[in-house]
Amino acid sequence: ILNVEQSPQSLHVQEGDSTNFTCSFPSSNFYALHWYRWETAKSPEALFVMTLNGDEKKKGRISATLNTKEGYSYLYIKGSQPEDSATYLCAFGSSGDKLTFGTGTRLAVRP
Amino acid sequence: AAGVIQSPRHLIKEKRETATLKCYPIPRHDTVYWYQQGPGQDPQFLISFYEKMQSDKGSIPDRFSAQQFSDYHSELNMSSLELGDSALYFCASSFQGGGQPQHFGDGTRLSIL
């Protein structure tokens, strides 16, 4: 059983704060690391897919880094806005198409 | 832009009945994935198809089967339904699988009475 862990489980921040969360995954048999944003009553939305150690991806105020040797990825949100409130899921791909999802970090941004 | 379409959105069945869930991927996507999300749980990968062939298999019960058709849509067939099968079933699609981002449908909520 693959262990994909995310921390913290939940996070409450004030509008304008910058924040980050962690995804830990097995460091062996790495193929890809996905990040998804999941709003209540909607389907998950793909943010990033990273495949190379040291990868850094950016989409607006959101960015992510990847360390495959030590098995972690960070997701950063700069200047959080209330519309950033969602659950952020990471998913680890070891080979083929199968993804193992973490339990998510629930972010709430207060106006 | 066209998204992944799942039908039905909601389905209510009784124990031991059968159910068929349908998924229509984004046009030109050739890979389809099925996930099951139980109450309060993270999504669990069930099965995936690439170019109409099964490409990967996860924790899919033997009572379930799936296939991808020539138009790339996929169907998840569930038989001998049990109470524990009550869940949200997501379908996702991508182009060429593997390290490509998956685009999710809105899910089918299956309730077993």
Cα A39-A110-A17 angle, rounded to 5 deg:
100
Q: What is the pLDDT of residues B10-56, one digit of tens each?
A: 999 999 999 999 999 999 999 999 999 888 887 888 999 999 999 88
- The pLDDT tens digits along chain A (111 residues) read 668 999 999 999 999 999 999 999 998 888 999 999 988 778 889 999 999 999 999 999 999 999 999 999 999 999 999 999 999 999 998 877 778 888 899 999 999
Helices and strands (DSSP H and E) totals, chain B: 0, 11
- At residue B8, the pLDDT reads 97
Indicate the pLDDT class of residue B5, thresholds 50, 70 and 90: very high
Determine which of B5, B9, B37, B42 to mutate to test the interface with A (most A C-beta atoms within 10 Å). Answer: B42
Name every chain A residue with its beta carbon within 8 A of the beta carbon of B104: 36, 43-45
Judge whether A21 and A13 are in contact, CB under 8 Å. Answer: no
Of B55, B58, B107, the CB nearest to A43: B107
Question: In angstroms, how far is the first alpha carbon of chain A from the final one?
Answer: 40
What distance in Å separates the CA atoms of residue A38 and residue A46, rounded to the nearest whole number? 9
- At residue A15, the pLDDT reads 97
For residue A61 the two structure tokens come to: 């105020």
Q: Is the pLDDT of residue B2 over 90?
A: no
What distance in Å separates the CA atoms of residue B69 and residue B73, rounded to the nearest whole number? 6
Q: What is the pLDDT of residues B53-71, one digit of tens each?
A: 998 888 899 999 999 999 9
- At residue A1, the pLDDT reads 62
